[in-house]
Amino acid sequence: MKKLYGAGYEEKLSRVMKRLGVTQYNYDWTRQSCFIEFTYRGQTYRFEHSLEKAKAAGQPIGLVSDCFAQLVMSLEDIARMTERGIYELSSWIEGMRALPAPKEIEPCFAALGFDETPQSAEEIKKRFQRLAKVMHPDAGGTEAEFCALRSNYERAVQLIGDRAHEPN
């Protein structure tokens, strides 16, 4: 299948989130679907797209990376309307709440985008590496954001290590 959209949509997502004033977000994709989650005014929202949804809508999409690009472009459209004063972001996303109230987890895990306590240090490391690609000052993030990310990563790894040594 031919790729419809070029590369660089992860970086574009970072810029769109900054335009919207969103500082905490997460994204991922599989072979069939993708999502973007973000926290806005204390509430978590989730945008999802899939090859199945694209097909049902008559879209000639065969690659999930194109689904992801469409999600980013949709958020960019919302950013434009917000910047033009047409609607506030909260008006658009009010009906898109997808996740239940957050579970009580350590703040360092929440800051890394987890909604449940991770099971391993490896899981935390992978999440840190993905976020570092966006939050590092060389990638457009700020030094303060990256320092906070690293601090939360170190605390999360410490907590997982402490739990591994607790008696059953």
Residue 9: pLDDT band (50, 70, 90) is very high
Q: What is the pLDDT of residue 23?
A: 87
pLDDT above 60 for 168: no
Burial 79-111 (b: 16+ CB within 10 A, else e): beebeeeeeebeebbeeeeeeeeeeeeeebbbb
Q: What is the pLDDT of residue 99?
A: 47
CATH class of segment(s) 107-164: mainly alpha
**Among the listed residues 89, 119, 92, 114, the one whose alpha carbon sits nearest the alpha carbon of residue 104:** 114
Q: Mind listing the pLDDT tens digit for each residue in 26-48?
A: 999 898 999 999 887 777 888 89
Helix residue ranges, H only, the chain = 9-20, 51-56, 64-83, 89-93, 107-111, 121-135, 143-164
Query: DSSP string spanning 61-82?
Result: ---HHHHHHHHHHHHHHHHHHH
User: Which H or E element spans position 27?
Assistant: strand 24-29
pTM: 0.54
Q: What is the pLDDT of residue 14?
A: 94
Retrieve residue 114's tokens.
């987890």
The domain ranges of the chain are: 9-96, 107-164
Q: Rounded CA gap, 14 and 135, in Å?
A: 9
Q: Rounded CA gap, 116 and 103, in Å?
A: 7
Q: Mind listing the pLDDT tens digit for each residue in 82-131?
A: 888 877 776 666 655 544 554 678 889 888 888 888 989 999 999 999 88
Q: Mind listing the pLDDT tens digit for each residue in 13-25?
A: 999 999 988 988 9
